[in-house]
Structure 1
């Protein structure tokens, strides 16, 4: 159960629903959310970023994603937010620090809103369609979609694996030193990669 929560917190997962965002065409939804992300990054005003962040929270609630889930999805950014906020607070002042932190949270929240209201296969299909021009140069766009799909599934697995190793070390009253986790994490990752490769080979993919 813990591992599933970590996956959700890391990248976000699709939450079924019948809201307007769920039923909105992927192209329109992606353009709107990407447009907002670009606008946030260009304006870099803490008040505007705060308004967009509040808007994503409201959209999450309206879409049935629940406010606590929205807040939990931003929790993995806490260390980065503290680091960036502290640096800019010291060297550039509170207004700049608030602008950087809120812009980051707004952009991440917008991207998670897209992931939470769109099934992964639709996202991959949209990416493959977007890469269609590359097929004119001989690029296999289906392989691009497969690679992205594997990355999306593998990264949360890796973080879940690290979490389980840390929990196992804690349960044995061993201090969870990150250096000590490198070897078992590497072995588990290589094993996972071999299993993935064998599964792809069994389906005729190399």
Structure 2
């Protein structure tokens, strides 16, 4: 049970999850939040200044605390990026110097935390509805925006499910006093994933969404 909770937490860290609240950011219209986040991300990428990125990162931490999301949750959301941060820092320190390394890494973290604010203060159905609305012009090219929203929704919901499968496989191995190598979990995980995809496809076909 503890492993499953830990796996669920890792999947939440990876994607971010909605946290109910009544803060100003929670009550802000989706289109306005999206514009603010997009504008801030563009500003970070355009400025190309590690000091600006650092200030933006600190601001997202302050906003997260003010919205009731918590600084601890904010910091935990950066954990899945640790390996990438280490690799980028090492590469740019050698290739371009400390200023460039700080700029690249802090810009990445700032953009991630900005998007997490949007995800954490907006229910998933509203995000999907916004994506569908944004994709509406694609109808002119024969693309169904509803299918785009459905595909994104399935992808988002499938990642926590996959983490749960891996946790269940580890639990089953632990019950047999076996500590499997991660590679040994690949085959059963792939079989379970294919079965899940097959059942999902059947459910969609039953609803006329082939």
State the partner residue of 1:110. 114
- 1:148 maps to 152
For residues 119-174 of structure 1, what are the alpha-carbon distances to aligned partners after superposition, in whole Å with 9 as ceiling and x for unaligned?
11110111111111111222211111101111111123224433543565466342
Whole-angstrom CA distance in 2 between matches of 1:136 and 1:89 = 47
5 Å matches for 1:1-206?
Answer: 1-166=5-170, 168-169=172-173, 172-176=177-181, 178-206=182-210
**TM-score in terms of structure 2 length:** 0.91
For structure 1, the residue ranges without an aligned partner over 5 or more in a row are: none
Conserved? CA contact 1:7–1:160, under 8 Å: no
Cα deviation, residue 198, structure 1: 2.4
- The answer to whether the 8 Å contact 2:8/2:163 transfers is no
2:136 touches 2:145 (CA, 8 Å); kept in 1? yes
4+ aligned runs moved over 4 Å, structure 1: 166-171
Query: Secondary structure of the equivalent of 1:15?
Result: coil
Specify every segment of 5 or more residues in structure 2 that has no aligned partner in the other structure, as ranges: none
TM-score by length of 1: 0.93
Count of residue pairs the alignment pairs up: 205
Aligned residues: CA RMSD: 1.6
Q: Structure 1's 72 and 167: CA in aligned 2 closer, same or farther, altered over 3 A?
A: farther
User: CA shift at 1:43, angstroms?
Assistant: 1.5
Structure 2 vs 1, CA of residues 97 and 121 (structure 1 numbering), >3 Å: closer, same or farther? same
